[in-house]
Structure 1
Amino acid sequence: MDEWKDLREADRQVPYARLDLKHRGVRARKFLSRPTLFFRFIHGGRINSIPVHYSIMMELTAKEMEMLRSYLWQDAGGGDPTGVFFPDQTGKAVITAEEDCVLSGIVPAMFLFEEEGCRLERVPGAVDGSLCGAGSEIMTAVGPTASLFKVERTVLNILSRMSGIATMAQEASRLAEEASPGTRVAGTRKTTPGFHLFEKRALIDGGALPHRYDLSSLAMIKDNHLKALGEGAESIAAAVDMIRELRGPYMLIEVEVEDISHGLAAVEAGADIIMFDNMSPRKLKEASEKVREEAERLGRNLTLEASGGITLENLAKYAPHVDVVSMGCLTQKALPKSFKMEYDSNIEICED
């Protein structure tokens, strides 16, 4: 089990796997996430020709625990006047999905219930990243009635938001795989302030890459940087050189380009990732082919990314030309999934 955890953690820590280009004769399966690869190798598991996404129940970081406590405080920090109804009562609460979805948010939900002194009874198979049908019970919490009601809304909000993102991420991953086996889908930094770590978790649970978690995760040279430095090939080379000098060879550098000339300049400058931004599929095809030819001539491995205006509807037109398609809509436009909590006071308390 430790191997699974290590593999999933690796997907969390880097924006993309540093792998050979799929368009250079390398088998496309190498571009699937390492956990997905491992699962297919051992079990041969596939669902409708889509790689099975095996999710590890990733442990919460100290920062995530701190954020979860703050969410609960925002809702219940001033106390709950109805808590006086049942000061010493114990009950049971069952969480049920009201829509088909890809589950995400189980680990944060468990933490919040346990933080308030409740005991969790998980439903087998109801884990982050698993498919869940409408009407399915996903967990049961037993504990002080006041605590169950205190946690209820925060838990349901988290499950709703995260499962919505995971569901859309899985659909995008499926479409990309069908259009171009091995092309990965990624999120962006277009996340909700204060909730971004959990939105990144949800992307992973849906089989997508999280992209960078914050500005420090990867050096991304964007169009506004180049405008400030002075547009042109020279500014791209200068920007890459400055970062290499400051951070050494261990910092990945991505350059955002909007035309072929800047793409070729980024290859020449030694960028690790080139993002083609706001290009039409036809222009992207031309640009990616020329950039790959130049990279091959120089003997450099690159990851090519497309971004800007890409949706579920047009994703298939972009996926064949790049290694990664990043989509802000995965976090900006994912619809929440509905969950409910039902309380039951008729429980049997087992004495240890």
Structure 2
Amino acid sequence: MLDKTSNLGHLLPPTYRRLITSWLEEDCPSFDCGGFVVGESQGEARLLGKSKGVVAGVPFFDEVFVQLGCWVEWHVQEGETIDPIKHCATVRGPMRKILLGERVALNILARCSGIATKSSSLVKALRHHGWKGTLAGTRKTTPGFRIVEKYGILVGGADPHRHDLSSMTMLKDNHVWACANKTAGSLTQTPESIASAIPMAVQAAKTAGGFAIKVEVEVRSIEEANAAIGAGADIVMLDNFTSDEVRVAARLLKTGWAAKGKLPGTFLIEVSGGLTEHNAALYACEDVDILSTSSIHQGTGIVDFSLKVSLR
């Protein structure tokens, strides 16, 4: 787990600034008549937190106003849980520019904070049940907004999972089956044939990715999981198992491979498929290392913020 004092903004690549530029351009592609009315007089606005939640997205909020020639003074820390109504920050600069960046900055902050809040809530709930494993997001992110969503997950104390297709090789059933058909021609898809095709796919992935890229295999049965582990997969994902099936399968896999001499930690067991804040704890057991769910970043609510011009 990242230290709470860590500046997560230091993780961001330079490319995020280009995203901010494109979002500002999208929001004002032509004349800014409202800004024309306001003019260039210097002023300030207060950022108010209007609902309870975890503050996240500070670097993105700051960059919006940096690009517009303004500056932000924060009165809360990123990752802090706020209650309404909280004066979170003060933005200073030309009033026209403050109002030009207002909606873009607030949209980013509200969404990122909503994700951090949902992530934090589920992490705390799982810890309350005594589970010490890793809660992770998924790659079901919004195109063009992925870096903000992954950042919000991190601020909330969860694991972002793989950031893109190049971060880790995940072999899903379609990958395994397509690999088998490429090699052997048209095959009848059966549980046995899929399990027999997994080692071929794993070895091909390891050859292409080398030692630096982990390989994860999505499996639908203990037989498929054993085939993946035997082929050297780093992670097996038990996909759409019931909670009872997860407990049985994870125990059999851990004890079975330990008896064959595989040391603890040689492979990890991930569980995914339909996990939410309402049922995740049912899947959290000693033999499960990772619970992954898109519910902490897909379709989450927001933390409500507003920017109010200070009258002098």
User: Does residue 258 in structure 1 map to residue 240 in structure 2?
Assistant: no
What amino acid maps onto 1:58 in structure 2?
G
User: Does residue 104 in structure 1 map to residue 56 in structure 2?
Assistant: yes
What SS class does the counterpart of residue 237 from structure 2 fall into? strand
Q: Aligned ranges for residues 252-331 of structure 1 at < 5 Å?
A: 252-296=214-258, 297-300=260-263, 301-320=266-285, 321-331=287-297
User: Does residue 140 in structure 1 map to residue 90 in structure 2?
Assistant: yes
User: 165, 170, 174: which one pairs with 2:115?
Assistant: 165
> Quick one: distance in 2 between partners of 1:273 and 1:179?
24
CA deviation after TM superposition for structure 1 residue 55, in Å? 4.9
Query: Which residue number in structure 2 is paired with residue 58 of structure 1?
Result: 9
When residues 169 and 54 of structure 1 are mapped into structure 2, their CA distance, relative to the original with a 3 A threshold, is farther
> Quick one: distance in 2 between partners of 1:92 and 1:329?
37
What amino acid maps onto 1:69 in structure 2?
T
CA deviation after TM superposition for structure 1 residue 234, in Å? 2.5
What amino acid maps onto 2:41 in structure 1?
Q
Q: Aligned ranges for residues 53-132 of structure 1 at < 5 Å?
A: 53-59=4-10, 60-123=12-75, 126-132=76-82
What SS class does the counterpart of residue 309 from structure 1 fall into? coil
Query: Which residue number in structure 2 is paired with residue 336 of structure 1?
Result: 302
> Quick one: distance in 2 between partners of 1:91 and 1:185?
43
When residues 298 and 238 of structure 1 are mapped into structure 2, their CA distance, relative to the original with a 3 A threshold, is farther
Structure 1 unmatched runs, 5+ = 1-32, 37-52, 347-352
Q: TM-score, normalised by structure 2?
A: 0.91
Identity %: 32
User: 132, 135, 142: which one pairs with 1:185?
Assistant: 135
CA RMSD between the two structures: 1.4
Does the 8 Å contact 1:272/1:302 carry over to 2? yes
What amino acid maps onto 1:209 in structure 2?
D
CA deviation after TM superposition for structure 1 residue 288, in Å? 0.5
CA deviation after TM superposition for structure 1 residue 114, in Å? 1.5
User: 157, 166, 187: which one pairs with 1:207?
Assistant: 157
What amino acid maps onto 1:299 in structure 2?
K
> Quick one: distance in 1 between partners of 2:257 and 2:28?
56
CA deviation after TM superposition for structure 1 residue 342, in Å? 0.2
Segments of 4+ moved more than 6 angstroms: none
Does the 8 Å contact 1:260/1:291 carry over to 2? yes
Query: Which residue number in structure 2 is paired with residue 249 of structure 1?
Result: 211
Residues 256-286 of structure 1 show CA distances to partners (whole Å, capped at 9, x for unaligned) of 0111111111111111011110010100011
What amino acid maps onto 2:233 in structure 1?
A
What SS class does the counterpart of residue 78 from structure 1 fall into? coil
> Quick one: distance in 2 between partners of 1:275 and 1:232?
15
Structure 2 unmatched runs, 5+ = 181-192
Q: Which moved more, 1:202-211 or 1:265-274?
A: 265-274
Provide the aligned length of Structure 1 versus Structure 2: 295
User: Does residue 229 in structure 1 map to residue 191 in structure 2?
Assistant: no
Residues 27-82 of structure 1 show CA distances to partners (whole Å, capped at 9, x for unaligned) of xxxxxx1x34xxxxxxxxxxxxxxxx555241342111111111111102323111
> Quick one: distance in 2 between partners of 1:167 and 1:211?
17
When residues 61 and 345 of structure 1 are mapped into structure 2, their CA distance, relative to the original with a 3 A threshold, is farther
Does the 8 Å contact 1:267/1:291 carry over to 2? no
What SS class does the counterpart of residue 276 from structure 2 fall into? coil
What amino acid maps onto 2:256 in structure 1?
E
What amino acid maps onto 1:150 in structure 2?
L
Does the 8 Å contact 1:55/1:129 carry over to 2? no
What amino acid maps onto 2:302 in structure 1?
P
What amino acid maps onto 1:131 in structure 2?
T
User: Does residue 238 in structure 1 map to residue 194 in structure 2?
Assistant: no
